[in-house]
Amino acid sequence: MLRPVLIRLSQESRLRTLASHNPVLRSMARRFVAGETLEEAIDVVRATNARDMTVTLDHLGENVQTAAQARAAAEDYCGMLAEITRAGVTSNVSLKLTQLGLDLGDDVAYENLRRVVDVAAQDDNFVRIDMENSEYVDRTLAIFYRLFETHRNLGVVIQSYLYRSEADVARLIEAGARVRLVKGAYLEPATVAYQDKADVDRNFVVLMEMLLARGNYPAIATHDPAMIDATRNFAAQQGIEASRYEFQMLYGIRRDLQTELVRAGYNVRIYVPFGTEWYPYLMRRMAERPANLMFVLGNVAREALPSR
């Protein structure tokens, strides 16, 4: 019952404002967010590369309200791509279409996305569209397919908790698209999404097997040891080399498992978010895994204890 509460809290703009000025929460966010500036994020990318891992960099933000904000977000991503090249680090980028103006219209988001993907192509880099909640899936995929006709340096995310995802994965495989598979981090009704973890996990395995068998360098994004073992076992049984896919994990979560996979010879990419709009992201991380919440609460409690 805790997960729905935390996800709803992530959507509260008043709490977002309060959180941004709370020094304890800002400190806690640093476990999962690589600072508020691009300079701080590039430092994290460089350190992550030194651990033999690649990165996807995300400038946090979503649901902008004006065309000017959407254009500014696109410009930020163009600047990020230029800085990735200048710094000589190994990273692509991930973004949300509502950050590029999807709520203002599909054409607004499409044009801003095209600008970012064009800049990425100049340096042979790659852009991934993060998937948002279910009301955006059709529009997100439509924009993806529209741009993918001319720009192959573009990928998308599919969520295993949605009933529709098997059909979406089949179509994306047919198109030759690069897919990141996740479980899903939004609160969805039973009309569109599995409600039990066992069902979400079962569908994750189905989609993972489809992507490994026939997909174009899929990204299997999970911290769940059972899902990782299922992926490794299926790949071994089918003779699928580790170079044909990658695992993706979030910055600040299961660093031990990240290192273990690299040592075992697997490609690992870390999703590294940064920026001032960290509150919704932080709350979704709390909702996904109780251990994350316990970590935060424990640190808050320590902050509150009088010094001796």
**Whole-angstrom distance, CA of residue 276 vs CA of residue 175:** 36
Q: Decide if pLDDT at 3 tops 90.
A: no
The residues facing 221 across adjacent strands are 248
Q: Is the separation of the CB atoms in 110 and 147 below 8 Å?
A: yes
Average pLDDT over residues 161-185: 97
Quote the pLDDT of residue 191: 98
Q: CATH top-level class for 33-277?
A: alpha beta
Active-site residue numbers? Answer: 130, 180
Q: Is the separation of the CB atoms in 49 and 266 below 8 Å?
A: no
Domain spans of the chain? 33-277
Q: Decide if pLDDT at 102 tops 90.
A: yes
pTM of the model: 0.87
Quote the pLDDT of residue 83: 98
Q: Decide if pLDDT at 227 tops 70.
A: yes
Average pLDDT over residues 296-308: 42
Quote the pLDDT of residue 10: 47
DSSP letter, residue 31 = T
Q: Which of 5-19, 62-76, 172-186, 241-255 has the lowest mean pLDDT?
A: 5-19
**Whole-angstrom distance, CA of residue 210 vs CA of residue 49:** 29
The torsion angles phi and psi of 297, rounded to 5 degrees, stand at -60, -40
Q: Which of 57, 53, 143, 55 is nearest to 98 (CA)?
A: 143
User: What is the radius of gyration, based on Cα positions, of the chain?
Assistant: 19
Helix locations, the chain, DSSP H: 2-10, 13-20, 23-29, 38-50, 67-87, 106-122, 137-148, 165-175, 197-214, 225-238, 255-263, 279-288, 290-304
